[in-house]
Amino acid sequence: MTSVSEQPTATWMESIPAEQKIGIVIPCYGYFQDLANQQLDWEELSVFLKSVKSSNLKSFLVFPAETKRLSKNVQNVLIGRQRGGGMEIIEMDPYSSYGDYIQEGISYLLEETDCQFIVVANPWISLKDDSIDQMAQRLNTVNVDLVCGVDLRKIVWDGKVGIPAEEFQVFNFNPPIEVQNKNFNIDFWGMTRAVAQVFKIDVAFKTKYFQLPDIWGNAFRSGYKIVETQYLPFYSFDVDWKQVDQESEFLEDKQHFIDKWRFDPNVIWE
């Protein structure tokens, strides 16, 4: 049986001034209507956006997007969210890389806002209702530089890989644990403004496959403390990235990674 515990009432937000802000980069990468099989559309985006909220901090959302490649329904979801304020759509150049999306979003938050915390949340996951506040809490401590969550779709639990989707909102690790400087996940991660000002995404990678080991490597080499925490569980959607990215670009990215880091990370085209 899975272990489910009640989420304790959070009191840590008292230590974060109410005027502080959290910026969230939401890359609309993969939401392309010109794909042969469009896996990400307005339904997935709507599910994701319902979970992106903060009860304690002011939030500002940035959506890097190639708007002409988005379906009308996805555009309407973004327009509807934009009417509520607190967000910006950044127009990306045609066929920009995943790294371009992330870096443009981070740069906008640094240049145009005074957000103290910067988070990247890919719109092919579902978060818990308090995930954004929990991320801010963890970044507000003095002993961490980068924080990432744990994908409940990929954990080994009760001898199986992943938990059922219907259990996601009620599932909690009991007790939650954290791992330092071992693992990283780029679907839901964050950093302080101070780290974001010097941390750069390598936009030479054309696909998203090698961004994970590259971001982790850059952070580790820079001496940053990286924390993967079970206090930030999320659930990823079923996306076949081979239908979004190109294998030829994957191979180019692999060679770029090997040239840069001098080892093969054994990333698989799948």
Give pLDDT tens digits for 149-167: 999 998 888 888 888 888 9
Q: What are the Cα distances from residue 30, in Å, to 20, 37, 244, 256, 266? A: 31, 11, 6, 22, 23
Closest alpha carbon to 66 in 39, 33, 38, 36: 33
Per-residue model confidence (pLDDT) at position 5:
35
Residue at 270 is within a domain: no
pLDDT of residue 4: 35
Q: What is the pTM of this model?
A: 0.92
CATH number of the domain enclosing 223: 3.90.550.10
The answer as to whether 123 is a domain residue is: yes
Domain contains 140: yes
Within-domain flag for 6: no
Strands (E) across the chain are located at: 21-25, 58-65, 87-91, 117-121, 125-127, 146-151, 156-157, 160-161, 178-180, 188-192, 226-236
Range of the domain at 208: 18-261
Q: How many domains does the chain have?
A: 1
pLDDT beneath 70: ranges in the chain: 1-14
Is the residue at 87 inside a domain?
Answer: yes
Other residues' Cβ atoms within 10 Å of the Cβ of residue 123: 23
Answer whether residue 267 is part of any domain: no
Query: 230 lies in a domain?
Result: yes
